[in-house]
Chain A
Amino acid sequence: MSTMIAPTRETVRAAERVAAARRRVSLAETLSQTLAMAWRAVKKMRRNPEQFFDVALQPILFTAMFAFIFGGAIAGDVQSYLPLMIPGILAQTVLTTCMATGTQLREDLEKGVFDRFKSLPISRIAPLAGPMVADLLRYTTAATLTFGMGVVMGYRPGGGVGGVLAAILLAIITGWSLAWVFTWVGTIARSAQAVQGISMMIMFPLTFLSNAFVPVETLPDWLAAFVRINPVSHLVTAARDLANNAVVSGEAAWTLVACLVVIAIFAPLSVRSYKRHI
């Protein structure tokens, strides 16, 4: 380490550095920092492949399980249940995937490296947004596997490739938007376990109190009322229209509006509580 004193090094001049220091982070800097953080998150995923277990196994397991258990009871047989169910599973897996965003953020926040991120002259939102960009990979994997499993089981989406891709895209957008809710939970909860618990409490009502697995008409009125306003129901209906009929319905627009509302509320909340969270 004696080379530290090597004479070739240029002297550090404080006054020049003060003069060159910028007061704010620009938007371009924020974007490049977010991408750098996304790169970190992808590296992390590659080194901890178990993070992909829920993304990979859940679509396969749930598709098979739900089809055989509920298929006969709800739609008469498995084949006719698939067009109804696959978009439902799509919504569910994407939601489960974005739930992990909060848990992982919480784990990350407890690590020493977040201290360094906070001490660097970088945008405060980059450490939050970076992993979420990387999560797009996980949503894509989960959504593709769900449809893949459906096709293996005999699902023939009427909307064709274009319809299915559009449904997947809509699910990814929704997942990314809803992830801000769990990111916020990640910044306010006391431990990763608490994040997990709270997220479950949000996730289960959202997925099961929707039209994902059963027709709304079979529900009691008061429940049906909630199911109709649940954003997950909009996503499921929109995805069904896209995948089965290649129709872009008003439900897709409602889904996007819900996404924007969620981002507008939870992105600023997350950054605020992340800043406080030191």
Chain B
Amino acid sequence: MSITELGRIASDPPPDRSTGLAVHAEGLVKAFGGHRAVDGIDLDVHPGEIFGVLGPNGAGKTTTLRMLATLLKIDAGRAEIFGVDVAGNPHMIRQLVGVTGQYASVDENLTASENLWLFGRLQGIAAPRARRIAAELLGQFGLEEAADRPIAQFSGGMRRRLDLAASLITRPPLIFLDEPTTGLDPRTRGQMWDTIRGLVADGCTVLLTTQYLDEADQLADRVAVIDHGRKVAEGTPDELKTAVGNSALQLLLAEPDEVPVAVEIVRRVLGSEPVLSPERGRLNVALDQADLAADVLIALRTAGVSISSVSVAKPSLDEVFLALTGHETDHDDQNGTEENR
């Protein structure tokens, strides 16, 4: 299956275009020198949804977000947020969007409550009210005990929470989260997910970037997959998964040297191409029906290829990504690349 074909299947027009989009971007381009970091990206985000932008490091996710947040100039194309032109009315956009960056953008020299107070004051909130909002947010994010401690003593998770709290002072209707859970431990990550779902329950729209496929799967209503500055697919996590096949057979061979033999057998039995994972001796095979796994296993057994582990599962977004872009999410072009395109 080719990339374009898959992209079309996945990006069927969403139902209610008429109600006005939270984000509407057409052909966004950003070039740094000769390198086009973002190379013609279209995005439509509906009010009230969590939209995930998924891609490996360097795919252009952050650059896209920064252009939409008025932090970077849009080199070509155009974008609107709630119908307001991003390039034409940056000051309005900044009132509508809360941005939480990849690296906590809070002031190290101030305490947690001083940070929130300052950001509130800067946005025209009267001093007593700014103090009250700061206390409220610190409570909501479980930071009240650390309220008067300098940020330098904060853990990564605490900084992230404070950073998100800082984006919510004026309760903006649209929130950008750039890799909100990168580097967080699993428990803190789960808490962050709950917080993000809570924002949507409050009526906000969330646009987030992630390189974690399970995060997009867990959180996002719709996902755009981005690679090398271009959108390679878009749809609900389920649509994307279905597009790659109903289930996936994962094989780990006892002898990595036997991979070519196994590849040949899969081709013969299923008539399709397995995807090689960078882990030595691991193959991922997309299946139309889970039953077909047995045929592959029997054929391998007959040929004397021994297997050290086997699993059949609904494909993860990892496999979706592999199938869409022809390489692993860590951006290492592996041997399967060319055949897969």
Task: Give bound CA distance, A3 to B70, whole Å.
Answer: 31
Residue of B nearest to A37 (CB): B122
State which of A11-19, A140-148, A219-227 sits at the interface with chain B.
Answer: A11-19
Q: Assuming A1-B142, A4-B199, A12-B203, is B91 touching A24 (CB within 8 A)?
A: yes
In the complex, B292 has a CB within 8 A of chain A = no
Report how many residues on chain A are interfacial, defined by Cβ distance under 8 Å: 43
Is residue A77 contacting chain B, with contact meaning CB distance below 8 A?
Answer: no
The 10 A-B pairs of least Cβ separation, nearest first, read A4-B198, A14-B173, A121-B94, A12-B203, A112-B105, A116-B105, A11-B203, A21-B92, A119-B99, A5-B198
Contact residues, A1-36 vs B (CB, 8 A): 1-5, 9, 11-15, 17-18, 21-25, 29, 32-33, 36
- Residues of chain A contacted by B139 (CB below 8 angstroms): 3
Cβ contact of B105, chosen from A9, A36, A115, cutoff 8 A? A115
Asked if B272 CB lies within 8 Å of chain A CBs, one says no
> Can you list 20 A-B pairs, Cβ within 8 angstroms, ordered by A?
A1-B161, A1-B194, A1-B195, A1-B198, A2-B194, A3-B139, A4-B198, A15-B82, A18-B83, A18-B96, A32-B124, A111-B107, A119-B69, A119-B99, A120-B94, A120-B119, A121-B95, A121-B123, A122-B122, A122-B123
Further 20 A-B residue pairs, CB within 8 A, beyond A12-B202, A113-B105:
A1-B140, A1-B191, A1-B198, A3-B139, A4-B140, A4-B194, A4-B199, A5-B198, A14-B205, A18-B82, A18-B92, A29-B124, A33-B122, A36-B121, A36-B122, A47-B150, A118-B71, A119-B70, A119-B99, A121-B91
In the bound assembly, the distance between CA atoms of A127 and B118 in angstroms comes to: 12
Bound complex: CA of A215 vs CA of B13, how far in Å?
Answer: 81
- Chain B residues within CB distance 8 Å of chain A: 20, 22, 47, 66, 69-72, 82-84, 89, 91-92, 94-97, 99, 101, 103-110, 114, 118-119, 121-124, 139-142, 150, 161, 166, 171-174, 191, 194-195, 197-199, 201-205
User: If the complex has contacts A9-B202, A113-B106, A278-B72, are A40 and B95 also in contact, measured as CB distance less than 8 A?
Assistant: no
Verify A116–B119 contact, CB threshold 8 A: yes
Q: Which residue of B lies closest to A130 (CB)?
A: B122
CB distance from B272 to the nearest CB of A (A): 44
Against B, the Cβ 8 Å flags (1 = close, 0 = not) of A100-124 are: 0000000000011111111111100
Within the assembled complex, what's the spacing in Å between the Cα atoms of A261 and B155? 48
Asked whether A126 is an interface residue with its Cβ less than 8 Å from the other chain, the reply is yes
Closest beta carbon of chain A to B293's beta carbon, Å: 40
Query: Measured between C-beta atoms, what is the minimum distance from B35 to chain A in Å?
Result: 17
Please measure, in the bound complex, the distance between the C-alpha atom of A113 and the C-alpha atom of B104, giving whole angstroms.
Answer: 8
Q: How far is the CB of A190 from chain B (nearest CB, A)?
A: 16
State the CA gap A1–B143 with chains docked (Å): 10
Q: Which residue of the partner chain B has the closest CB to A12?
A: B203
Please give, as numbers and ranges, the residues of chain B lying within 8 Å of A13 by CB-CB distance. 173, 203
Is A272 in contact with chain B by the CB < 8 A criterion?
no
Whether the Cβ atoms of A126 and B122 lie closer than 8 Å is yes
| B-binding residues in A (CB < 8 A) | 1-5, 9, 11-15, 17-18, 21-25, 29, 32-33, 36-37, 39-40, 43-44, 47-48, 111-122, 126, 278
Cross-interface CB contact of A5 among B84, B99, B201, cutoff 8 Å: B201
Nearest B residue to A127, CB-CB? B122
Q: Are A14 and B22 in contact (CB under 8 A)?
A: yes
How many Å lie between the Cα of A111 and that of B20 in the bound state?
36
Cβ A40 vs Cβ B195 within 8 A = no
The reply to whether B107 and A113 contact each other, CB–CB distance below 8 Å, is yes
Q: How far is the CA of A119 from the CA of B174 in the complex (A)?
A: 13
Report the bound CA distance from A24 to B110 in whole Å.
Answer: 28
Q: How far is the CA of A171 from the CA of B287 in the complex (A)?
A: 79
Chain A residues contacting B108 (CB-CB under 8 Å) are 111, 113
Known contacts A1-B194, A3-B139, A119-B99, A40 near B94 by CB under 8 Å: no
User: B95: which of A9, A22, A117 is its contact (CB, 8 Å)?
Assistant: A22
Note all chain A residues with C-beta closer than 8 A to B83.
18
How far apart are B288's CB and chain A's nearest CB, in angstroms?
40
Q: Are A43 and B174 in contact (CB under 8 A)?
A: no
Which of A43, A113, A117 counts the most chain B CB atoms within 10 A? Answer: A113
Q: How far is the CA of A24 from the CA of B88 in the complex (A)?
A: 12
- Residues from chain B with a CB closer than 8 A to the CB of A4 are 140, 194-195, 198-199, 201-202
| Cα separation A29 to B126 with both chains bound (whole Å) | 12
Inter-chain contacts of B94 with A (CB < 8 A): 119-122
User: Shortest beta-carbon distance, A120 to chain B, in Å?
Assistant: 6
Contact status of A43 and B114, CB under 8 A, knowing A14-B173, A119-B69, A278-B71: yes
Partner pick for B101 among A12, A23, A39, A112, CB 8 A cutoff: A112
Q: How far is the CA of A126 from the CA of B121 in the complex (A)?
A: 12
C-alpha spacing A7/B117, complex, angstroms? 25
